[in-house]
Structure 1
């Protein structure tokens, strides 16, 4: 029987590449000299980009400036350095002239960078005697061998034995509007937007479910490709994300540390409250010299077009230091979440999470200006559905029913519906075979706030009885219930570095067991 895989990495997207690049770098730094076999299971054609950064239209923009995009937690400028080292050819393909650290570049370009990081880490691993096998296979199940302490991976390419696994299996598809699945004209995701543009007729009536970042990608891709038909975007709130300020804060924002967050807790019984965090962040805002403008922080009222106009004006003329302070929380945000008692977490999800998502997940000015133009020209409308939003198939198309202005129901007929509500983290509702396997076998349990239940210190799964499964850890979106903001590349890179260091340290001390 073939020797078991020492480390199985499930998934080959950005988080997996970030973990592996930092894992190999840590082993290199430790002068690791043992034999090690790593297998990466990725069903897509290319390792690195995953779905978020896959080859697609250049209208898909990063929502983080180029200077902060990197596979390495401690080398934040790596992406920009890679661009500068490539010469003009790579930039010409995307119509980019002189990128700077503050530019919001096309996501497929970052995908090219990740593919190159993958190639380089594999080459360096080979020089260190580390064997990395890439298997173009989907992992559909996983089981524990109680006697040998090993894992059995059930894949589309057969079964494999492994000593340890890191799950980087990416975002789960949305489970909303499941009744429309398979219906002609329905897209359960906007991506790839190139496919959207190809299949949607130029004059077709299009309904977009959602008004967040994914919805913006779909709208811009269609409109910039010449779509002339009416477009209606609907969401419960009808709110667009905040627009990222084009001006730097007057003073540099120093990220809070885990120790500073921990010090906010006045008593273990009370834990960290939302009021504690509010006071802390307000003090940090005051230190910048910016006034506490709740209208600006919480969002402007009025119609979506009016609110977006005010957003554009504010982000063109004000530093909006509150945005930089919110972003700086990325360095320690999981510690704030860990210290909140369950009652506070429930309060946050019930009262504040929707607002947090629209204000924290900002989008770049270039797309904000485009969306405003579409609204001004009348080719795009954005409406709030609140709890009365209803979308169903009707004839050859779809009907979108919204609460009317006078208390009735407004009915809108569309030819296509694009579900841009984003990813799901509800593992209980997921149809993903691996997720179902882990839950059904009691190897994992659902976290009430999304993803799997994990041990905070190691990122390892908690089984159905609450025990730590020491040889299966999780990175990425399915770690959301434990670490909260795992939709952010820099947070995932930092958590990946922590796991890489821990595993590399264990190997350096003990070597790989026979």
Structure 2
């Protein structure tokens, strides 16, 4: 029987399992082995059990784990008594999305087994992968398993990033998740510094607030920006910011430039009647973060301009392909606007924005940019050197590195593959993959039909490697590519 190994068992793997159950198992029985040593199978770090204050940031209608059925997630919420959280303007709790992912994977596994396939979950850490006579063998500290015809890497992201080398300091919390555990020992009156000002940092603020924290809280980051506030969906069928148009422009021009992508974006904005000047003003806006938050919240509640929702939809639909096709020089141009793109691509829910604004107005919450250093004090606590210096009792890490790196837990595995030439590092981080199939590209520049990767490991080859629409679409492509390698012609949506 055809043997497939999935290394990693988080949300990416849940999408892959669901896609295999739909695309491959109805055609031929397969053996699937999922390696996941962590406690949150299918949920990963992001959707693990946590408090109700931890929101998903994205409405459920954009969280389907199966690319061929966009209503899958919404339908599951209705069927499980959570229909009030399935509306397009409501975001669910993150642990509820985790339940959905668990159920989706378990139903897919049950369907595969009913069709004659075998699925095994192994709570083992894979530290190396070896190829022998066309087959793959996985290795751990004291075990070996194989032989596999196909391997899919779903390794997840780095849990946290210690910008300021504080890991050995008392009062430093290196990983914010789960909040119910990370924040349990934070004294109620303590002054808290949060490294970062993005969505993870906002989760931490919401976690402290839910626990009745009374002390001052400072958000500190290099840029001092907050995410924008999610607006109502645009309900617009994309005409220009599509993979097809990106490919047509690339073929016609012999390559894709950043200016080409900008022109496609402008055409999409014109198609929905929004103001290009208004969008351009957002990119160059220097309004203080709290003022922007207030303005963004008003816009989310009252403004029906579809500009940013349309651009966000376009970034999800074709952002990975556009980034992949750009030259390195143009990638650097995009990176210069990375923070602005992320601010609008990954907005916060209006409910969180309203609570944040109240905390800013009360004086409990502050934000500063220009963080240069955070140093432990000999008498306890930390000095934050920034535009608005602060002294805090506790520091909580809630940031990501400027350049994504291989997660520490995955480095031995990736190093073993690099030593055999099975993978090649990407200059922008992660490893090289084929744009369409997500096949890993070897040291010789060959896309290997037996090796695929999904998620954070592909950061560099792709610009956005997270979000359920991206994961579900790539997982589906991987399943269809494996099916084609097996000589199957799986059903297509």
Q: Is TM > 0.5 for Structure 1 vs Structure 2?
A: yes
Corresponding residue of 2:376: 393
Deviation of 1:436 after TM superposition, in Å, equals: 3.2
The match for 2:366 is 381
Runs of 4+ in 1 over 6 A off after TM superposition: none
Instruction: Note the C-alpha offset of 1:282.
Output: 1.4
User: Cα distance 1:467–1:287, how it changes in 2: closer, same or farther (>3 A)?
Assistant: closer
Contact in 2 for aligned 1:243/1:363 (Cα 8 Å): yes
Residue 382 of structure 1, CA deviation: 0.3
Structure 1 position 121, deviation (Å): 1.1
Q: Provide Cα deviations, 1:144-177, integer angstroms capped at 9, x if missing partner.
A: 22xx112221125611122221000111234442
Q: Distance in 1 between matches of 2:105 and 2:354?
A: 35
1:214 matched residue in structure 2? 200
Which stretch of the first structure deviates more once superposed, 421-430 or 228-237?
421-430
8 Å CA contact 1:253–1:324 kept in 2: the answer is no
SS of equivalent to 1:448: coil
The match for 2:74 is 80
Q: Which residue of 2 aligns with 1:348?
A: 334
Query: In structure 2, what is the equivalent of residue 130 of structure 1?
Result: 117
CA contact (8 A) 2:226 2:293 kept: yes
On the 8 A contact 1:233/1:382 being kept in 2, the answer is: yes
Change (3 A) 1:368 1:255: farther
Pairing partner for 2:261 from 253, 258, 277 = 277
CA distance in 2, matches of 1:254, 1:155: 48
Residue 12 of structure 1 is matched in structure 2 by 9
Q: Deviations over 1:417-452 (max 9, x none)?
A: 111113786346846332333334433222112211
Q: 1:251 to 1:496 in 2, by over 3 A?
A: closer
Give the deviation of 1:236 after TM superposition. 1.0
Q: CA RMSD in A?
A: 2.5
Compared CA separation, residues 172 and 166, structure 1 to 2 (3 A):
same
**Rounded Cα–Cα distance in structure 2 between residues aligned with 1:185 and 1:441:** 42
- Which of 169, 175, 200 is the equivalent residue of 2:155? 169
Instruction: Note the alpha carbon deviations across 1:227-286, whole angstroms, 9 max, x for none.
Output: 11111111111010111114x5486555743221123348545x2222222222112112
Q: Show structure 1 runs of 5+ residues with no match.
A: 405-409
**Kept after mapping to 1: 8 A contact 2:85/2:92:** no
Assess, with a 3 A threshold, how the Cα gap between structure 1 residues 125 and 182 changes in structure 2: closer, same or farther: farther
* Aligned position for 1:322: 307
Alpha carbons of structure 1 residues 37 and 251: separation in structure 2 relative to 1, 3 Å: closer
Aligned partners of 1:192, 1:174: CA distance in 2, in Å?
A: 12
Correspondence list, 1:184-195, <5 A: 184-195=170-181
Match of 1:407 in 2: none
How many residues are matched? Answer: 485
Whether the 8 Å contact between 2:186 and 2:394 is mirrored in structure 1 is: yes
SS in 2 for 1:170: coil
Q: Deviations over 1:330-383 (max 9, x none)?
A: 22222212321221112222x211221112211110111111111000111000
Taking the aligned partners of 1:250 and 1:459, their CA distance within structure 2 comes to 29
CA distance in structure 1 between the aligned counterparts of 2:44 and 2:373, rounded to whole angstroms = 32
**Alpha-carbon separation, structure 1, partners of 2:303 and 2:238:** 16
Q: 1:416 is matched with which residue?
A: 394
Q: Distance in 1 between matches of 2:438 and 2:84?
A: 41
Contact 2:156 2:407 in 1 (8 A): no
CA, structure 1 residues 72+429, in 2 after alignment: closer, same or farther (shift >3 Å)? closer
Q: 1:227 aligns with which of 191, 194, 213?
A: 213
Report deviation, 1:464: 2.9
CA distance in 1, matches of 2:42, 2:53: 20
Change (3 A) 1:266 1:171: same
Equivalent runs, 1:98-177 vs 2, <5 Å: 99-145=86-132, 148-156=133-141, 158-161=143-146, 162-177=148-163
Which segments of 5 or more consecutive residues in structure 2 lack a partner in the other structure? Answer: none
Q: Counterpart of 1:65?
A: 59
Match of 2:272 in 1: 288
Alignment partners' CA distance in 2, 1:18 and 1:296: 38
Aligned pair partner of 1:452 in 413, 418, 431: 431
Contact 1:312 1:365 in 2 (8 A): yes
The Cα shift of 1:210 comes to: 0.6
| Contact 1:17 1:114 survives alignment (8 Å) | yes
Answering whether residue 365 of structure 2 is matched by residue 370 of structure 1, we say: no
Determine which of 281, 299, 310 is the counterpart of 2:295: 310
Query: Equivalent residues in 2 for 1:427-446 (5 A)?
Result: 427=405, 430=408, 432-446=411-425
